[in-house]
């Protein structure tokens, strides 16, 4: 797993190439504030090869955060992360690797008959009870997540996953009440606390799309304090001193600023956005879709671009500069793009005034 000493050694090796504030603490580890995402792309060998090259380039350039999920590209993204880590000269213990479980993943390619695949692979062996399946594709039952975590460890070729996210838990709200979803999350968290005790994961969290950045009366809303309370209860259930819930992942970029602006969570000092709430508690926020899935590749007009800063770098710097953000993920399977994205860290984070202009 990512260790305190190896991640600090990695920072010491790379920090001269970056401005202050590029490397940040995440639990015991020190991580780059630009991370590598692996969501987009077809499930093909050619895209695997591109991702492998991009990940290795990123690791060598000063990016030690990698994000994936078992369902991304039919498990190919996890497998290519594993391959890149194995073949890279960078010490595995210097890299913070996160993955997610919740969606039913295919295996290598889209099956011609998805229902038959799910029945044979998951239902008949007793891994998945069809009654626990929501929207035909999503399950957070503890036994199912156990199976998915084992598969992720195998795909990644790792002994320990640094952060395991429950993937888009708000999907459960399509067929369950909010209270039932909190209950289901608590059951899942108990299992993840146990897996942390077993050394299979370093920490866990939730990766969300809408849940934490919509108003509290929205059908997809989940409350950050309610989720964290369930994590603390789960820790008590397994006799842990404190919860291993550590990270929230959600979209944040200049076109999707709600993580900073939607004050939908009851914080100690009143209503708080998820980023404000995270600042007041011991939770790290990792942003997804940091360049709005490519649509901010031309930059952010409301912010002045600094000399030599490219439009993409400017968009990345907006995302990673917001108070409360630990790291911003940018997905790419293109080596030149990964270099450009990591080099965004050569610029100092934007000040509060510049961030304020984006969030207005």
Ligand X SMILES: NC(=O)c1ccc[n+]([C@@H]2O[C@H](COP(=O)([O-])OP(=O)(O)OC[C@H]3O[C@@H](n4cnc5c(N)ncnc54)[C@H](OP(=O)(O)O)[C@@H]3O)[C@@H](O)[C@H]2O)c1
Number of residues that bind ligand X (CB under 6 A): 29
**Contact pattern for ligand X over residues 137 through 176, marking x by CB under 6 A:** ------------------------------xx--------
Interface pick for ligand X out of 4, 219, 297, 298 (rule CB under 6 A):
297
**Contact pattern for ligand X over residues 216 through 255, marking x by CB under 6 A:** ---------------------------------x------
| CB of residue 346 to ligand X, shortest distance in Å | 14
* Nearest-angstrom CA–CA distance, 204 and 185: 12
| 235 in Cβ contact with 197 (< 8 Å) | no
Interface pick for ligand X out of 260, 329, 342, 350 (rule CB under 6 A):
329
Segment contacting ligand X by CB under 6 A, of 113-121, 197-205, 262-270, 282-290: 282-290
Question: What is the DSSP-derived secondary structure letter of residue 89?
Answer: S
* 343 burial type by CB count under 10 A (0-12 exposed, 13-18 middle, 19+ buried): buried
Interface pick for ligand X out of 290, 314, 321, 326 (rule CB under 6 A):
290
* Nearest-angstrom CA–CA distance, 235 and 215: 28
**Contact pattern for ligand X over residues 170 through 199, marking x by CB under 6 A:** ------------------------------
In sequence order, what are the residues at sequence separation of 6 or more whose Cβ sits closer than 8 angstroms to the Cβ of residue 84?
51, 52, 55, 56, 59
Interface pick for ligand X out of 39, 117, 157, 354 (rule CB under 6 A):
39
* Nearest-angstrom CA–CA distance, 216 and 151: 35
| 280 in Cβ contact with 308 (< 8 Å) | no
Interface pick for ligand X out of 289, 303, 325, 350 (rule CB under 6 A):
289
Q: Identify the CA nearest to 91 among candidates 210, 17, 177, 5.
A: 5
| 62 in Cβ contact with 134 (< 8 Å) | no
Interface pick for ligand X out of 76, 332, 343, 345 (rule CB under 6 A):
332
Segment contacting ligand X by CB under 6 A, of 82-90, 217-225, 234-242, 330-338: 330-338
Strands 29-32 and 34-37: unpaired
The footprint of ligand X (CB under 6 A) covers 37-40, 67, 100, 167-168, 207, 209, 249, 288-294, 297, 312, 329-334, 337, 340-341
């Amino acid at each position: 797993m990512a260790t305190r000493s190896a991640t600090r050694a990695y920072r010491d090796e790379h920090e001269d190439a970056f401005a202050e504030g590029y490397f940040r603490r995440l639990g015991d580890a020190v991580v780059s504030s630009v991370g590598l995402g692996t969501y987009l792309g077809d499930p093909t060998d050619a895209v695997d090869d591109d991702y492998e090259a991009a990940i290795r380039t990123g690791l060598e350039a000063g990016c030690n955060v990698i994000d994936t999920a078992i369902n991304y590209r039919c498990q190919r993204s996890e497998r290519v992360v594993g391959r890149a880590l194995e073949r890279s000269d960078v010490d595995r213990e210097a890299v913070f690797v996160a993955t997610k479980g919740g969606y039913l993943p295919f295996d290598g390619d889209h099956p011609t008959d998805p229902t038959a695949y799910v029945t044979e692979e998951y239902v008949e062996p007793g891994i998945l009870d069809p009654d626990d399946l929501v929207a035909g594709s999503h399950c957070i039952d503890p036994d199912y997540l156990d199976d998915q975590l084992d598969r992720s460890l195998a795909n990644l070729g790792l002994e320990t996953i640094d952060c395991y996210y429950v993937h888009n838990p708000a999907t459960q709200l399509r067929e369950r009440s909010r209270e039932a979803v909190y209950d289901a999350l608590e059951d899942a968290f108990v299992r993840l606390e146990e897996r942390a005790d077993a050394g299979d994961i370093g920490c866990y969290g939730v990766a969300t799309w809408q849940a934490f950045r919509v108003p509290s009366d929205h059908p997809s809303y989940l409350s950050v304090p309610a989720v964290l309370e369930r994590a603390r209860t789960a820790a008590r259930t397994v006799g842990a001193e404190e919860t291993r819930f550590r990270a929230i992942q959600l979209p944040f970029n200049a076109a999707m600023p709600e993580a900073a602006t939607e004050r939908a969570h009851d914080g100690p000092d009143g209503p708080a956005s998820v980023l404000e709430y995270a600042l007041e508690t011991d939770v790290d926020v990792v942003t997804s879709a940091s360049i709005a899935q490519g649509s901010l590749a031309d930059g952010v007009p409301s912010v002045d671009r600094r000399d030599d800063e490219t439009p993409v770098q400017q968009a990345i710097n907006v995302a990673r500069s917001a108070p409360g953000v630990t790291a911003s993920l940018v997905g790419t399977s293109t080596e030149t793009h990964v270099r450009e994205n990591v080099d965004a860290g050569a610029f100092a984070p934007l000040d509060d005034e510049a961030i304020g202009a984006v969030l207005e």
